[in-house]
Amino acid sequence: MTTATALLYGLGGALLAGMALYRLVTAADWLRRIVAVNVLAVGVASILIATAYRGPAAPADPVPHAFVLTGIVVLVSTSAVALALIRLLHARDENHHDSR
């Protein structure tokens, strides 16, 4: 870690990942857990981007940036499928409730 800026945001990413992991395990509702997965990914991405930083004068390493860009798109795909599953589960519960 060369600069204080990168170190600061790297530590922030580590804290975000830790917080998100805790809530991912303990959250009671499904929506909140998918929010936690998203925050976890943002934490990991923050660490990657912090390590790519080379100071205010030099250009940053573009390869971790490309990784994170790919990660963002994979994450939105994952979230969309998980949310569709939640809608399906709720619809199931309602149908089950109606038939009783």
Partner 1 sequence: MNAAWLAFDALLLAGILGVAWAAMAPGDAFRAIVMFMVMGLLVALAWVRLRAPDVALAEAAVGSGVTGALFLRTWHALPREAGRASEATAARPAAPRRLRLAAFGLAATLTGLLVAALASLDGTAPGLGDAVAARLAQSGVSNPVTAVLLNFRAYDTLLEVVVLLAAVVVVWSLDARPAPRPVPARGPIFLGFARLALPVTVLAAGYLLWLGAFAPGGAFQAGALLAAVGIVLLLGGLYRPGSGDRRRARLAFGLGLAGFAGAGALTLGLEGAMLRYPPAAAKTWILAIEAVLTLSIAATLAGLFLGERSAPARTGGERP
Q: Which of residues 41-60 bind partner 1 (CB under 8 A)?
A: 42, 45-47, 49-54, 56, 59-60
What tokens were used for 62? 């573009």
How many residues bind to partner 1 according to rule CB under 8 A? 78
Rounded to a whole number of angstroms, the CA Rg of the chain reads 18
CB of 29 or CB of 99, closer to partner 1? 29
Quick check: 68 binds partner 1 (CB under 8 A)?
A: yes
Q: How far apart are CA 23 and CA 86, in angstroms?
A: 18
Cα 21 to chain centroid, rounded: 10
Quick check: 84 binds partner 1 (CB under 8 A)?
A: yes
